[in-house]
Amino acid sequence: MEPPIVIDAHTRYVTGVLFSPDNTALLSAGMDNLVQSWLVKEWTQQHTFFGHTNSVNALAMTQSGDFLVTGSTDTTVKVWHYPSGDVEHTLSGHKKTVSAVAISPSSEYIASGSYDGHIKIWELSSGEEIVSLSHIGRNIASVDFSPDGKSLVAGGLGDDIYLWAIPSGELIKQIIGHETAVNSVTFSPDGKWLGSIGYEETLIIWATKSWEQVHTIALESRAIDLTFTGDSKKVAATIDYGVRMWNLRTGEIDKQYELPVKGVYSVAVSPTRRWLAVGSADGKVRIWELRKTK
């Protein structure tokens, strides 16, 4: 197995990685208060985004690639013009760490989740707060919009997953299956699946039509983040010292990679499904080539 490409991305933990929709850039967020942008294939530094005064914990980008949204321990959400790095809005309203952000497929709304137990929906263009959701009531770990933009899912310090209608904020469903905190929730790009990771070291794949568990996968260790491939056929999740990818048709491991450091906090697959990137506690981003292209 070929060794990964290694980027010295941050001076402290890498908390988030994200490929731009046009596949030209890889973005990373760190506990050093910075967001970095790297050119895909060359893996050279493109931009540095300065503005947060504490750890940047979450990243999201509009489908057009014009705006980047970040959430920070400084309790703010920032909307940046990309790639200039100019700040369009600084969204204030959370009382504690902002741990999760997501952008609706239409780029109309931003969702932010915080350790204050609230999820806020903001209008991206104006920065205005639309609604605040407090059903979970405790540390929010992850938020994601459905691919049709009609609903928002979230999980946190509590063993249930919650689903709301957007933009009304009406609670649609409480999904029960995990035994402890929910670390991550993500819809597949085709909307057929929801992936969730529990603190009890379990990955669950849910069918969104029936909300039945399609796969319940026991993980080797603690897991923080997961992502689907663009064709919705595979799912990848971080574990201590590594990352695993499963085939959703069979539920079997498709690929596995090891890291020399404990603490793997973020994972992303490029839109072309060529690259897998992970961010870890040593401040590095590692990239593996999943498949060769001509």
| Tokens 């780029």, residue located | 107
Contact yes or no for 277/286 (Cβ under 8 A): yes
Nearest-angstrom CA–CA distance, 176 and 185: 13
pTM of structure:
0.95
pLDDT digits (tens, 9 = 90+) for 16-60: 999 999 999 999 999 999 999 999 999 999 999 999 999 999 999
Q: What is the mean pLDDT of residues 136-147?
A: 92
Q: Quick one: what percent of the chain has pLDDT higher than 90?
A: 94
In the chain, the amino acid numbered 139 is N
Q: Is CATH 3.40.50.150 what the domain over 5-289 is classified as, yes or no? A: no
Of 4, 18, 11, 14, the residue nearest 280 (C-alpha): 14
Nearest-angstrom CA–CA distance, 23 and 268: 12
- Output the CA torsion 288→2→41→39 (10° steps): 50
pLDDT digits (tens, 9 = 90+) for 92-116: 999 999 999 999 999 999 999 999 9
Nearest-angstrom CA–CA distance, 31 and 21: 24
> What are the extents of the domains in the chain?
5-289
